[in-house]
Structure 1
């Protein structure tokens, strides 16, 4: 079976190059949205099938039902740029897929704005949480937001105002390449309420207000950006811990005894492809850390409210594990070690004498190294200043062969 996916824009049939037109005209079955199917002229004789809803669960059956026919699927713009093409490729395999791309919304928007594509960050909120934008908002950055619908531009403006980026300039580009293409610009602070055309892209030139928090992607965010009840790996210890965990794009972390979720959150902020599971026995803390993940731009963090190691059941094996709480629970170290993938990293922080005994014994049994971390902060003593030490942390780090 070979499936042909043809990208089509708002300019419709007139915007299709010859290979795209040929694929549509020779198809026996044509699948797409009602809007896309209406763009195809009547002389295309294929059976026309609108996308089922919900789409993703029905897609394998749809492909299988037309396995013996010449199947052509219509997709918006470039099917391999935040489009349906990647999903179809996973189902059919690349050898059974032919893609005829159209200019993507990203390329068209950058062409209208004079923005180099390679210098522009793209975020899709189509079927994805808007909160993911938080991790991309930085002073002076240019963003392209692929909207879910006509309400997305106002939602983007509201999020920017919330973050202290009300001075940011938003440009909404509607119906790119279509006969009714339109653009509207306003700052986030002055952005009007109301809907826009369903097909739109939001261009953002980020401008921070004087009180906007700076949230870099490197580990060690300020402690006060986390809602917490004291169960928080503090800033300096967190930065050292993440350095030993070594976030790698595409890898998975288990944050065991996650507390406020700071380790899992900053692991995911290191790269969009990093994934994490935060495991927290206290239900209130688990709900709080889920809120932290949304506020800090990683809303896809998986939060499990349950006690480890029993909560590990059914989870995908991790590439790294951090034990921030519960290291003294019987069997915890063994369960974490057994779960790690080859080459995986295990880091455990101990503050109490009891937990220090556990990690010292684990080092003797499994290897790795121990590091003692002591942090002091300057504080007032009467009319003078002195160093106030925090509790020292003993950190055990080991890598599985």
Structure 2
């Protein structure tokens, strides 16, 4: 049997954990965890560093002693929440684990602020790409980021300091330590300039105007939208200059916006595509060259309760200052369209979708996508909507045809790569 004890947020180990430690033959944990408990002199100790050697040592111990000399693993907070329980269960099976959870660092950090966290998004940046945490922080008003080496408050702040909206970072260090605990509110720019040391466990990224949420029934961030491809009347727009909902429906299907993604909407116009991508939980940057268009996009985002960062300027010039996107929608561009598509395709990680009305531009756009290494497909969308006529009869009203081309980056080949 392996007893997993969550500790490190100030509460003493539970009685079950004390009993397990008293009879343990092997105790595994970080230095501060081992120093905080009474380990029998006869027990072997392993200071937890890289996980694989510790798991190997546990396996050897169990093979040699079985349950006669139990194993105790000490961990921070709740070890079943982004913790070591997953690795132990995968290696030894959940039926061999007895878990005594402590209070997680996330729950403790929110408690220090007097905030609920049933509506928070929790992201681990420990040993993972920081960009996912950054994009979630851009898109959601209440996020907890579990930190790690190279992905701490300074790095998160640096990524969010530019066009991050009204966000504040709450940096929680040494939670539960009576002499060392710190909970500090800083701007992303301030966080970027500080040396925070190794003790940080969690960073909360908050839009404080929306930090107190209504009563929830289901925990976690809001579910995806119940419907999409919203009617044009759901958006403010100028002279019907808006991506029609039939086109938007297929564009969204090919973009695949999701939580943790960054999507560009280039030539955004009314921002209808940007807003719909944000409703799916993606971080979105809308690029628009007209001042009235910029204000319209912001108004539409506010009306739908989502965050869209708006960049005033013309593509491709302004694109150089932006983070690389996962997916790009291009709904404008005029004569510069092939150049814009090329610039976007060079940087998009997954997909580029282009809507255009002119047949003449299709070959150049297709060539730009394929030249960038994308698999390219496309359709001509022609739809007719039901429209009323006098006398309670109905006619079909045709919308303008639109060409929709999309490029999808093929998965990296594993041919010749050792498995």
Q: How would you bin the TM-score normalised by the shorter chain?
A: 0.5 to 0.7
Q: 2:35 aligned with 1:35, yes or no?
A: no
Aligned to 2:79: 79
Separation (CA, whole Å) in 1 of partners of 2:54 and 2:124: 21
Q: 2:166 aligned with 1:171, yes or no?
A: no
Separation (CA, whole Å) in 1 of partners of 2:126 and 2:112: 22
Aligned to 1:204: 205
Conserved 8 A contact 1:372-1:394: no
For 1:34-56, what per-residue CA distance to the aligned partner results, in whole angstroms no more than 9, with x for missing partners? Answer: 23222223546421012353x2x
Q: Give how far 1:106 is off.
A: 1.1
Conserved 8 A contact 2:7-2:74: yes
Q: Give how far 1:350 is off.
A: 3.2
Q: Give how far 1:207 is off.
A: 6.7
Q: Give how far 1:193 is off.
A: 1.6
For 1:131-187, what per-residue CA distance to the aligned partner results, in whole angstroms no more than 9, with x for missing partners? Answer: 11243235771222211148611222222212333x422221111111211122222
Aligned to 2:59: 64
Q: 1:288 to 1:388 in 2, by over 3 A?
A: farther
Q: 2:123 aligned with 1:146, yes or no?
A: no
SS in structure 2 at match of 1:66: helix
Separation (CA, whole Å) in 2 of partners of 1:150 and 1:15: 31
For 1:64-122, what per-residue CA distance to the aligned partner results, in whole angstroms no more than 9, with x for missing partners? Answer: 21222411111111001111112211222221211111111011111111111202222
Separation (CA, whole Å) in 2 of partners of 1:236 and 1:325: 25
TM-score, length of structure 2 as denominator length: 0.52
Counterpart among 348, 372, 379 of residue 350 in structure 1? 379
Separation (CA, whole Å) in 2 of partners of 1:173 and 1:391: 51
Counterpart among 383, 392, 399 of residue 403 in structure 2? 392
Aligned residues: 271
Conserved 8 A contact 2:144-2:203: yes
For 1:193-212, what per-residue CA distance to the aligned partner results, in whole angstroms no more than 9, with x for missing partners? Answer: 2222423221222379xxxx
SS in structure 1 at match of 2:115: coil
Conserved 8 A contact 2:110-2:116: yes
Separation (CA, whole Å) in 2 of partners of 1:177 and 1:3: 25
Separation (CA, whole Å) in 2 of partners of 1:5 and 1:64: 15
Conserved 8 A contact 1:168-1:205: yes
Separation (CA, whole Å) in 1 of partners of 2:379 and 2:3: 56
Q: 1:89 to 1:75 in 2, by over 3 A?
A: same
Separation (CA, whole Å) in 2 of partners of 1:74 and 1:64: 16
Q: 1:268 to 1:142 in 2, by over 3 A?
A: closer
What root-mean-square deviation, in Å, do the aligned CA atoms of Structure 1 and Structure 2 show?
A: 4.7
